[in-house]
Amino acid sequence: MEIPERHEHDVLVIGAGGAGLRAAIAAIEAGASVGLVGKSLLGKAHTVMAEGGMAAALGNNRPEDNWQVHFRDTMRGGKGLCDWRMARAHARESPDRVRELEAWGALFDRAEDGRMNQRPFGGHTYGRLAHVGDRTGLEMIRTLQDHAVHEGADVFMECTVFRLLVVDGRVAGALAYWRPTGEFVLFRARTVVLATGGLGKAWKVTSNSWECTGDGVALAYDAGAELMGMEFVQFHPTGMVWPPSVRGTLVTEGVRGEGGVLTNRDGERFMFRYVPEMFEGDYAESEEEADRWVEGDRVANRRPPELLTRDVVAKAIVAEVEAGRGSPHGGVFLNISEKRSPEYIKTKLPSMYHQFKELAGVDITTDAMEVGPTTHYAMGGVKVHPETAATRVPGLYAAGEVAAGLHGGNRLGGNSLSDLIVFGQRAGAAAAEEARDVSLTEIPAAELSAAVAGAMAPFARERGRNPFGLQEELQQIMQDKVGIARTEEALSEALEDVHRLRGALDSCSVDGGRAFNPGWHTWLDLRVMLTVAEAVVLSALERRESRGAHTRIDYPDADASLGRVNLVIRSSDGRMVTDAEPVSEPPAELRQLIEEGV
């Protein structure tokens, strides 16, 4: 099939969220021509759902805060699996990237002295999240897209990339289709940056929007890149649980950061019972002490236990529900009305106020919310060079949630937004630098024809399986067998299920034409989601220990004999295989920071 629409750029950025926009800006600043491809409308990226704030050690809340404390918090939160070079770069550069956003027009909330306000989040020693109420991601996207467009990015909206094109071992571009028309479009580029976000739509209950099917992970894997840490999927402790139509919708950690407390059916503030030994001394031991911290008495830095890391809080909520102390709809209660005034809540948490009012009929200024864990974020993803964000495929880079390394086994809240702008900038700059010495490559016609034929395959079948049913089956399998608590038996069953569903892809059919065809879109997404699911399940089977966001009921403790290793996935003779790689040890001065504190 001839592909009449073709575009050429120095750097092609796939994904128009925070990481993609920042990469595009950096590449343009370095003199490159940039194509920016977004699966949805510009401004609709999932970054807008990151509500609570972006972590950066500005020192506005507490002058003692600095990059060393932020680095230590990130490394501890990642349960020993963070790449120390990425964590150091992130902690050092986040303040400059946040101030840069402000210079470009972002309107952050202000403290009384006029400086940028910073709120506390789980796992952070000090309040260090710069925020815009509970709509921080929206303000980030607004600012970045305005700047990227004015800098000259060539934007392609509602355009989905389904194949990276590799010629002679080097990425040479991408093949995509326009979602409204189904017409194919070819992008040739000297270098490519993947910034496609997460993969939460592989689960039934998720805070992720429809775009988050793991496109970049599958694109990179199919192109020959390695994946890492795929077993580490974060279940945010607080998603809505009622009504069923909105189950999984995110309830920002900002609610707890502003003083919200978690209680069970009996009214007990249960998180005091779940403080891990490694965090003892950092968190309050009584409600009175926790309340003093919320009221501003933070001399001892003993934070409320609701601000423990997300893996700890999510597991605690599951334990309460399983013990019969859950709320009527299978969650627990989150209440901020007893700690803050209605005016304060409406000012600091306007989106949460309207979300519960409109979707659940709950007034959070007077009543408690029902919440429970929801699939939220992937710590794992494409393995990249810690300095440049380059993959092992020449010319291919990855940044943001699609990339692995920074967050290790568990991400701290607020680190995601600063991750986007720190490593988006690094990836864009490195891609532009490499593009200077690379020529555009002609794509063999046979490869284009084969890719198009593969994408068109379900149209040639009649009365085959419905891709919507197949997608629903996959999501239920992942929810039931690859959730917060995992077992060898359930994971083994899930792996067999995923292989069975992959075979069923070849029996799916799609009716109608390519224009406005959601059945076809779902089938194409399924190819991606099954690759993602297999990688997650295989890694979860191989990691026979509990660490961070990965919990094995049959291996409840961290395995000291295993050592600190990352599981790396690569393709070998058409099969997905795993290897264990030791985590790089930081230099002595950084080890001391992690172990002893600042």
Q: Could you read off the pLDDT of 160-169 as tens digits, one per residue?
A: 999 999 999 9
In the set 9, 236, 269, 550, the catalytic residue is 236
| Predicted structure pTM score | 0.95
Q: Please say if 256 is a catalytic residue.
A: yes
Least confident residue range of 11-20, 216-225, 289-298, 495-504? 289-298
Supply the CATH classification number for the domain 238-373: 3.90.700.10
Give CA–CA dist 12/484, Å, rounded. Answer: 36
What are the C-alpha distances in Å from 221 to residues 3, 40, 188, 573, 592?
Answer: 25, 23, 19, 13, 36
Mean pLDDT of 474-485: 97
- Output the CATH code of domain 459-572: 1.20.58.100
Residues 6+ apart with CB under 8 A from 113: none
Is the CB of residue 51 less than 8 Å from the CB of residue 258?
A: no
Q: How many CA atoms lie within 13 A of 137 on its CB side?
A: 24
CA of 484: how far to CAs of 12, 452, 471, 550, in Å?
Answer: 36, 38, 20, 7
> Whole-angstrom Cα distance, residue 186 to residue 163?
10
Could you tell me the two tokens for 557?
């403790």
Is residue 527 flagged as an active site residue?
Answer: no
- Residue range 32-44: average pLDDT? 96
pLDDT for position 298:
61
Split at pLDDT 50, 70, 90, the class of 292 is confident
pLDDT digits (tens, 9 = 90+) for 342-352: 999 999 999 99
Confidence at residue 293, expressed as pLDDT on a 0 to 100 scale = 83
DSSP, res 245:
G
**CA–CA dist 425, 20 (Å, integer):** 9
Band (pLDDT 50/70/90 cuts) for residue 422 is very high
Other Cβ atoms closer than 10 A to 295: 10
Name the nearest CA neighbour of 67 among 77, 76, 57, 59. Answer: 57
| 190, 256, 303, 465: the active-site residue | 256
pLDDT at 598 > cutoff 60: no
Pull the structure tokens for residue 537: 């399940």
Q: Which amino acid is at 197?
A: G
The answer to whether residue 107 scores a pLDDT higher than 80 is yes
Model confidence over 222-269: pLDDT tens digits? 999 999 999 999 999 999 999 999 999 999 999 999 999 999 999 999
Q: Which of 266, 227, 232, 234 minimizes the C-alpha distance to 253? A: 234
Average pLDDT over residues 312-338: 96
Closest listed residue to residue 380, CA positions, set 587, 536, 182? 536
- Range 104-122 burial, b when 16+ CB lie within 10 A, else e: eebebbeeeeeebbbbbbb
Residue 561 has pLDDT above 80, yes or no: no
| Residue 596 scores a pLDDT above 80 | no
Q: What is the pLDDT of residue 1?
A: 66
Q: Residue 247: which residues within 8 A CB-CB, separation 6 or more?
A: 205, 239, 240, 241, 374
Which sign, positive or negative, has the C-alpha torsion 23, 213, 505, 481? positive
Scan for tokens 């969220």, then name that residue.
17
pLDDT in tens, 363-417: 999 999 999 999 999 999 999 999 999 999 999 999 999 999 999 999 999 999 9
- Spell out the domain ranges in the chain: 238-373, 459-572
Percent of the chain topping pLDDT 90: 90
The confidence score (pLDDT) of residue 203 equals 97
